[in-house]
Structure 1
Amino acid sequence: MVDTPTPVRRTPLLGLLFAVPAVLMLCSGYVVPTVRLLWTSLHRTVFFREGGDFVGLDNYGRLDTMFGGGTFLAIGLGLATGAVAVVGGGGLAYFANRAGRVGRRLVWIGFALPVAALSSVAIASAWQLAISRREVNAFPDVEPGYAVVVLLATFGLLVGVGAAAYLLVFRSARKRGLAAGLAALVLVGATLAVTLQSLAAPLLIATRREDAPPVLGIYNSAFRLGNLGVSAAGSVVLLLVLALLGVAVTAAVVFAQARLVRVEQPEPAGNPGFLAITLVVGGGALLVGIVGLLPWLLDLADFGRLPDGPFEPWLLSWGPTLISTVVGVGAAVLAGFGIGALRPLGRNSHLLLLPFAPWLFTGLGVTMVDAFQHLWRHDSDNFLFAFLRAIPPSSLNIPALVLSAVLFRGLTTQDSPARSWRTAAPVVALVALVTWVVQANDVIWSLISVTDPGNGTMPYLAVSRGFAYSFGAESLVGWLYPIPGYLLTAAAIAVVGVFVLDRLALHTGPEDQPQ
C-alpha cells in the first residue's frame, strides 16, 4: 500500500511565506529570551536593580541546591508518568483496536473527562485543601508529597493521552514498530518536560526544599530571595536539558517521516473477547483516574466569595489568554500548513521543523526570569492595563506547529492542500481549545504579571488564598475551571476523537514505498 494516490503539489514560495510569522515569533519569544537569560546568568543581578557586575560562571557554581535531589525526583516523576502513558495507554489502545470500532469509541468517550482535566492550579488547590482538612489520608500524621499527588491526579489523563497516541499507531496497516517507538519517545519526552517545568503542584502542596523540582528552585531564588542571576543560571541549565529533549523528539519525527493519514481500507469485524478486556482494563484505569481527581471533582461547586465579584478576575484569566492562543496557535498552524502541505523543500520540507526543535518543550517555567525582567509595567493599575499585561509572552505554540506539519503532510498525500482542511480543521480547533484552557489556568504567568492584587487573575487569587486554607479561607476551585467549560472541553475531545482522530493513522517511512 502506498500513500500517494494524489500527487503532492509544491508551492515553495507560498510555503515559506506561511512560515514567516512563526519564525518571527520564534525569534522574539524564544531565541531572544534565551540569549538574555544567558547574559543575565553571567552577572550578579538582583531584584529591582539595573545591570549588575559581571561574574562569569560564578552563578552556575551556586546551583547545587537548585539541582539536587528534587531534580532526580522530578525526573523520576516524569519517567513514571511517561510509563503510565506508554504502558497503560498503549495496552488499552491495543485491546481497544482489536475490539473494533465500538472498543475504540468507548475509549475516546470514556477518557474524555479525565483528559479534559487540564487545570493544574485548580486540581492542586483542591488537593491542598483536602490535605489541610485531612480528607485524603487515613494516616493523619503523613502527608502525600507533590509527586504522589501529580501521579494520582494525572493518571486518567495520562492513560487517555497514551491510548489516543497508540490508537493512531494501531490503526495503521503498515509495520508498526517504528511508529510505536516514535509515540513512546514523544510521550516520555513530553511528560519529562512538563514535570520539570510544572509549578502549581510543588508550590501549593507542601514540598520540602530538598524535594523541590528545579522550576520551584528557580522561582524561589528569583522572587523570594531576589537573586535573578542565579535563577537565570538555573534557567539556562534547564533550557539546555529541554533543548536536548526537543531536538531528540523533533529529529525522530523528521527522520521517521511521520505523517497522519486517513484510514481508507475496510475495517475487519471486532473481537467480542477483546471488547470485554477493553471494558475491564479501561474501566479500571478510569476508576483510578477518577479517584485521583476526586478532591477536585468534589470541589467543583465551591465558589468562594470575592470582594469585587468574579467577573474581572475571570475575564483577566480567560481574555488575554484567548488572544495569545489565537495568535500562537494560528501562526503555528499556518507554518505547519506551509511546511507539511505546500512543501517548499519537497520531500525534505520536514527539515524546516528542526530550527524550532530546541524550544519544542520550552514553557514559561523556564523563561519566567526573563519574562519578569521585561514585563511591561505602567504607573496606572487600571483594568485595561492589567488586561494587556496579562497577555502571555512566547505565545507561539511549537508543539502545535509540529503536529500540524505532520497532519498536513499525511492528508495532502490523499487530497489537495485546500481540501485537507476538512479533516484538519476540527483537530486544529481542539488544539486551540486545549491551549486556551491550559494558558488560562497557568499559575506561573499569573504570579509574574499581576502587580496589583485588586486586578488579580483567578489563578493568582487561588494561590494567594490557598496559603490561608489552614485559617478557614474559602475555596475558589469552582471559579478556576467552571463546570460548563470543563464539560464543553470534554465533549469536544470526545467528538473530535470519535469522528476525526479515530479515522487517522500514524505512518512512517518513505511515502512512495510500501512497508
Structure 2
Amino acid sequence: MADPVALQPVPPPAAPPRPAWRVVLGLVLALPALVLLLTSYVEPLIWTVRSSFQKLSLIRSTGGESVGFDNYSAVFDKGLGTGIGRALLFAVVPLLVVLLLAPLLAWLAHRGGTAGRWAARGLLALPLAAYAPTAAAAGPMAAAWEDHSGAPSAFAVYWLGGFGLAAALGVTLYLAALRRRTPQHSPLPGLLVAAGIGALAVVAVALQAFTAPYVVGEQRDELTPAMQMYQEAFVYAKFGTAAAVSTVLLLVLMVFGVAATLLLVLTRTRLEYDDEGPPAGAPRPSAAPVFLAVAGVLALIVLAVSWLGLGDWLTRITDGGEPPRDLANVGINTWLPPVVSAAVGVTVAALAAVGISGLRPLGRHSEWLLMPFGLFLFVGVTPLAVRAFAAGQTAGRLNSFVGLIPPSRVAIPALFVLALLVRGQVLRRETSVREGRAVPWVRTILPAVPMLVLAYVVTWFVSAQDLVWGLLTGYGEHSDAQTYLVQAMREALYRAGGGLPFRSVLPLWALVLLVLVAVAAQLAYLDRVALRAGRRED
C-alpha cells in the first residue's frame, strides 16, 4: 500500500527572494520621474486647488483673500455644468469611431491576413501624420470665407478633423489586441481593455476641448470647461474663478486616470513584441480575400470622411499667408522648444518604465507603482495653464524663446506604454527561462527601443501642435505656428478673408516625411506588437 504521505500534492517551490540590488535600482530609476511628477503635476495641482478658494485678480504665487466656495458658485452660475455637458457632446462621434468602427475595421483587416493589416495600417497613416488641430480648425474657416458662407460649427470641425485620427489609433490598438500566438487563446480580454482605455481617453480629450471652439469662435454662452477657464483667467483676469474651473476639470480627469490604471493593472495588461509567430504545429489562420477587400473599402471610406475635415487645410498647405512672410523664425519657435521638454519627459519616463516593470522592485505588485502617475494620465496642458502662466510670469519667461519651452513634465502616456511593453518582454523571458531556453537580456529589451524612439517623436510632435501653450507664453516675434495662424485669422476677419499661413503649421515636405515615418512604423514595428491581458500564453 502506498504511503499516504507520498500521495499528498507537492507545493510549488517558493519564489527565490528578490535581490536587494534590483529593489534599490528599480526604485532609483523611478525616482527622477517621481520628482518631476511632484514638481510639474502635484505642486500645480495644489496651487490650483488653493487658488480656487481665493479672490485673485492678478497672477501671483501667494494666496489672496479667502472666499470659500464662492468661486465655484460663480462658475457654475455661468454655465460650467452646461459646459461639461457640451464638452461630452464632442466625444459622441469619436466614441462611435473607437467603440464600433475601429474594432470592425481591425477585425476585417485581421481576417484579411498580412495584406489586410498592412492595407489598413498604411492607408490610415495620413490622418496620423496630419495631426494639426489648429490648422484643421482654421481650414474650414478659410473655405467659408472663400465661399462667403457662415462659419462652421465647432462640433463639425472637431468631429471631422479628428475622425481619421480616432480611427487610426483605434485600429492600431485593436490589431495589437487581435494578435495572438494560438487560436486557443482568446483575444477578448485584450479587446475589452483596448475598448475601455480608448473610451476613457476619448472622453478625457473631449472634456479638454479648446482648439476647435477657440478657433471657430463660439459664443460666450456655449463654452467648454477649457474655454471657460481661458476666458476667466485671460480675458476677465479672474484667476480664482479660473482655478475653480480647472479644479473641477482636474478632479474628473484624475478619476478617469485612476480607472484606466486600475483596468491595466488588475487585468495584467502587457505589450509584447511578437517576433516568433505561432508555435510549431499550431494552425495558421487563412487569409480570406473577401475580408481583405471589405477592409480596404472601409479604410478608404474612413479616409474620405477624414478628408472632409482635413482637406480644407491640406489643399492650402503651401499657403504662406497674405502678404507672404519669412516663416523661418516661426518654424524655429514651433519645433525647437518642444524638443527640450520631450527629451526630458520621455527620458525620465523610460527610466521609470525599466525600473518599475523591468527590475520589478515589488515583484508581481510592481505595476501598482504606476498609480501616482496614473492620476495625471489624461491631464493635458489646459487644466494646469493658470499655474504655468503664473510660474512663467514670476520667472520673467513670458514672451521669450525660453518661455515657449513647455513645462518639463513626465510624459505619462509614454511611461505607461513603455512600462507595459517592458513588462510583457520580461514576462516572456521568464517563461522561456522556465522552459529551459536561455534568452539574453539584450533580446528582451532591444524590441522596446523602437517604441522609445516613437515615444520621443510623438511627444515632440503633439507638443509642437498645441495651441494653448503658445497663446499663454508668446506673441509677436515669439509666436509659434499655432499662435501665428490664429493671429492671421483675426486679421483676415477685417479684410473679409484671404490666405492664411498654413505652411507655418506643417510644411508639405514635413507632412510627406511624417507619412513615410508613420507607414514604416506601422508596417515594420507596430504590426508585430501584441496587446495581451489576463494569464500568460505559456
TM-score (norm 1): 0.92
State how far apart, in whole Å, the 2-side matches of 1:190 and 1:86 are.
12
Instruction: State the Cα distance separating 1:47 from its structure 2 match.
Output: 2.9
- Which deviates more, 144-153 or 416-425? 416-425
- Which deviates more, 77-86 or 229-238? 77-86
- Regions of 4+ moved over 6 Å: 7-10, 378-381
**What aligned pairs does 1:433-452 form with structure 2 within 5 A after superposition?**
433-450=457-474, 452=475
In structure 1, what residue type is equivalent to 2:90? L
Map Cα deviations across residues 368-399 of structure 1 (whole Å, 9 max, x no partner): 01111111567798xxx822111111521111
State how far apart, in whole Å, the 2-side matches of 1:207 and 1:129 are.
16
Aligned partner of 1:302 among 306, 310, 319: 319
- Which deviates more, 51-60 or 400-409? 51-60
State how far apart, in whole Å, the 2-side matches of 1:283 and 1:379 are.
50
- Partner in structure 1 of residue 99 of structure 2: 86
Q: Are 1:275 and 2:295 counterparts?
A: no
Point out where structure 1 has 5 or more consecutive residues left out of the alignment.
1-6
The 8 Å contact of residues 66 and 218 in structure 1, kept in 2 or not, is answered as: no
In structure 1, what residue type is equivalent to 2:162? T
Aligned partner of 1:425 among 449, 472, 475: 449
The 8 Å contact of residues 243 and 361 in structure 1, kept in 2 or not, is answered as: yes
- Partner in structure 1 of residue 126 of structure 2: 113
State how far apart, in whole Å, the 2-side matches of 1:420 and 1:491 are.
27
- Which deviates more, 266-275 or 301-310? 301-310
- Which deviates more, 354-363 or 487-496? 487-496
- Partner in structure 2 of residue 479 of structure 1: 504
- Which deviates more, 43-52 or 321-330? 43-52
- Secondary structure at 2:271 match in 1: strand
With over 3 angstroms needed to count, the CA separation of the structure-2 counterparts of 1:9 and 1:287, relative to structure 1, is farther
Instruction: State the Cα distance separating 1:198 from its structure 2 match.
Output: 2.9
With over 3 angstroms needed to count, the CA separation of the structure-2 counterparts of 1:396 and 1:274, relative to structure 1, is same
**What aligned pairs does 1:273-422 form with structure 2 within 5 A after superposition?**
273-304=290-321, 309-376=326-393, 386-415=400-429, 416-422=440-446
- Partner in structure 1 of residue 7 of structure 2: none
Instruction: State the Cα distance separating 1:427 from its structure 2 match.
Output: 1.7
- Which deviates more, 364-373 or 463-472? 463-472
Instruction: State the Cα distance separating 1:248 from its structure 2 match.
Output: 0.4
Q: Are 1:465 and 2:488 counterparts?
A: yes
State how far apart, in whole Å, the 1-side matches of 2:393 and 2:268 are.
42
The 8 Å contact of residues 101 and 167 in structure 2, kept in 1 or not, is answered as: yes
Map Cα deviations across residues 5-27 of structure 1 (whole Å, 9 max, x no partner): xx999722222111111101100
In structure 2, what residue type is equivalent to 1:133? E
Instruction: State the Cα distance separating 1:367 from its structure 2 match.
Output: 0.5
Instruction: State the Cα distance separating 1:321 from its structure 2 match.
Output: 0.4
Instruction: State the Cα distance separating 1:411 from its structure 2 match.
Output: 1.4
Instruction: State the Cα distance separating 1:68 from its structure 2 match.
Output: 3.6
The 8 Å contact of residues 78 and 188 in structure 1, kept in 2 or not, is answered as: no
State how far apart, in whole Å, the 1-side matches of 2:107 and 2:313 are.
30
Instruction: State the Cα distance separating 1:51 from its structure 2 match.
Output: 4.2
Q: Are 1:498 and 2:510 counterparts?
A: no
In structure 2, what residue type is equivalent to 1:214? P
- Which deviates more, 86-95 or 9-18? 9-18
**What aligned pairs does 1:174-253 form with structure 2 within 5 A after superposition?**
174-253=185-264
Matched residue pairs, number? 498
In structure 2, what residue type is equivalent to 1:298? T
- Which deviates more, 196-205 or 226-235? 196-205
Q: Are 1:77 and 2:97 counterparts?
A: no
TM-score (norm 2): 0.88
The 8 Å contact of residues 136 and 309 in structure 2, kept in 1 or not, is answered as: no
State how far apart, in whole Å, the 1-side matches of 2:92 and 2:221 are.
19
- Secondary structure at 2:442 match in 1: coil
Map Cα deviations across residues 329-367 of structure 1 (whole Å, 9 max, x no partner): 111122112212221111111111111111011111101
% identical equivalent positions:
32
Point out where structure 2 has 5 or more consecutive residues left out of the alignment.
1-15, 279-283, 430-439
Q: Which has the larger radius of gyration?
A: 2
The 8 Å contact of residues 430 and 493 in structure 1, kept in 2 or not, is answered as: no
The 8 Å contact of residues 407 and 424 in structure 1, kept in 2 or not, is answered as: yes
- Partner in structure 1 of residue 51 of structure 2: 40
Instruction: State the Cα distance separating 1:84 from its structure 2 match.
Output: 0.7
Instruction: State the Cα distance separating 1:440 from its structure 2 match.
Output: 1.0
State how far apart, in whole Å, the 1-side matches of 2:79 and 2:346 are.
33
Q: Are 1:95 and 2:103 counterparts?
A: no
Map Cα deviations across residues 95-147 of structure 1 (whole Å, 9 max, x no partner): 00011000001111110011122211121122222233337xxxx45x43111
- Partner in structure 1 of residue 281 of structure 2: none
Q: Are 1:508 and 2:508 counterparts?
A: no
- Which deviates more, 101-110 or 71-80? 71-80
State how far apart, in whole Å, the 2-side matches of 1:207 and 1:257 are.
43
- Secondary structure at 1:47 match in 2: coil
Aligned partner of 2:176 among 168, 187, 200: 168
